Amino acid sequence: MSIVFSQNSPIYLQLVEIMKLKIVIGVWPVGEKVNSVRDLALLFEVNPNTMQRALAELERQGFLYAERTAGRYVTKDQQLIEDTRHGMAEAYIVDFCENMKELGYSKDQIIDLIIKEAK
Amino acid sequence: MGTLMEIKDLTKRYGHKTVLDNISLSLESGKIVGLLGPNGCGKTTLMKVLTGLIKDYTGTVLIDGQEPGVYTKSIISYLPDKEYFSGNKRPSDMFDLFEEFYTDFDRKKAENMLVDFDLDPMQKMKTMSLGMQEKLQIALVMARNAKVYLLDEPLGGIDPLSRDKILNTILRNYSENALVIISTHLIHDVETIFDSVLMIRRGNLIVNKQVDEIRAESGKSIEEFFKEVF
């Protein structure tokens, strides 16, 4: 998998966001074991120490938990996953609305367009 | 992890020209380090000092606690920036040679890499393209279980697809006990595999920093940062 990292922020933070998304959309299912640092580093083509740092950050934020020697697992905290999903959705909508306003659309026009698109 | 390489006040002159100017740095095992700088800045000279090919330097160079010599040669796997084998040899001949020279050479590993690179072990070197030869060299160098890997421009004449394979090979061979130093001018393609980068300008070490630290502080990729520095 080749990932295009954005230019201007630390790679480990970008990895955190990418993996968070995998958890939120269920590509990494609840309670499932995640691959080893080495395998993930290979998968994302990044330095293993950078991957280690990203996984530690996900652990700190509660998205992963470690079982002593058995490795890391995806959190079983559905609330956290749901809250994160909402957070991401809100961020998309804020972005979207700002762009639409810049294009000169009113609130009602935006809503109309969304309803049309959704049909 | 621990300090594997310690360089203090390293200076190398060719006549009046100072090629390495008072370089000091220390690198740990378990790291992949980028060595960056324009052509002629001293990257290759530094590599040659580390491998023991250049001996008339001043300052201190310690690799795994020892000055460059018989011991350090046994733990350093070096990829020079030029091809070094004769045209009539085949990969299998090179494997024989490496097996004889280096006790840490893992033939099985080298053979697997050859398959991965789509190379024929019986094809003569002179009939190979430059890219194929470079891939063979990478396989030879990475198949040693060394403590220090010095790769001088491993991505030089290589197409993007092979580049990915080589980077993958380097990552696959990652070990907490080894240090990998890669000199390159193709920063964009490789910066995600580095822990830290060293930037050399006219023989001076001007940057020695973690990749993510540079990104966080400057808000730039290593490539953009590099362009700004030079």
Among B33, B42, B47, residue whose Cα is nearest residue B181? B33
Return the pLDDT at A1. Answer: 55
Q: Which residues of B touch A54 (CB under 8 A)?
A: none
DSSP β-bridge partners for residue A72:
A66
pTM for the full predicted model: 0.88
CB contact under 8 A, B31 and A49: yes
Residue reference for tokens 């390293």: B10
- Collect all residues of chain A within an 8 Å Cβ-Cβ radius of residue B224: 7
Question: What is the structure's pLDDT at B7?
Answer: 98
Smallest Cβ–Cβ distance between A46 and the set B31, B192, B216 belongs to: B192
Burial (Cβ within 10 Å: 0-12, 13-18, ≥19) of residue B224: middle
What are the structure tokens assigned to B104, written together?
């840490």
**Helix (H, G, I), strand (E, B), or coil: what is residue B52?**
coil
Say whether residue A52 is in contact with chain B using an 8 A CB cutoff.
no
Q: What is the pLDDT of residue A70?
A: 84
Query: Which of B77, B67, B209 shows the shortest CA–CA distance to B152?
Result: B77
For A92, A106, A107, B126, B219, the CA distances from A102, given in Å and listed in that order, are 15, 10, 12, 61, 26
Instruction: State the Cα–Cα distance between residues B137 and B79, nearest whole angstrom.
Output: 7
**Residue B170: strand, helix, or coil:** helix
Q: Which ranges of chain A have pLDDT less than 50?
A: none
Nearest to A80 by CA among A60, A95, A94: A60
B197 beta partners: B34, B209
Q: Kindly state the DSSP code that residue B182 receives in the 8-state scheme.
A: E
B9 vs A: CB within 8 A = no
Query: Is the Cβ pair A50, B212 closer than 8 Å?
Result: yes
Q: Is A100 touching B (CB cutoff 8 A)?
A: no
Taking CA atoms, B144 is separated from B72, B81, B120, B194, in Å, by 14, 18, 20, 21
Contacts of residue B172 in chain A, CB cutoff 8 Å?
Answer: 42
Size of the A and B interface in Cβ pairs below 8 Å:
55
**Minimal CA separation from A53 to chain B, in Å:** 11
Residues shown for chain A: 119
Chain B hits for A44, CB-CB cut-off 8 Å, are 192
Contact B168 A53 (CB under 8 A): no
Residue B49 and residue B121 in contact, taking contact as beta carbons nearer than 8 Å: no
Through-space distance between the first and last CA atoms of chain A, rounded to whole angstroms: 34
Interchain pair B193, A42: CB under 8 A? no
Distances (CA, A) of B48 to B110, B193, B199: 24, 23, 17
Q: What is the CA radius of gyration of chain A?
A: 18
Say whether A2 and B195 touch across the interface (CB within 8 A).
Answer: no
Q: Positive or negative, the Cα torsion across B79, A41, B186, A13?
A: negative
Mean pLDDT by 10 residues, chain B (230 residues): 93 94 97 93 94 96 97 95 80 94 95 93 90 90 97 85 88 94 89 95 95 94 91
Q: What number of CA atoms fall less than 13 Å from residue B158's CA on the CB side?
A: 24
Is A110's Cβ below 8 Å from some Cβ in B?
A: no
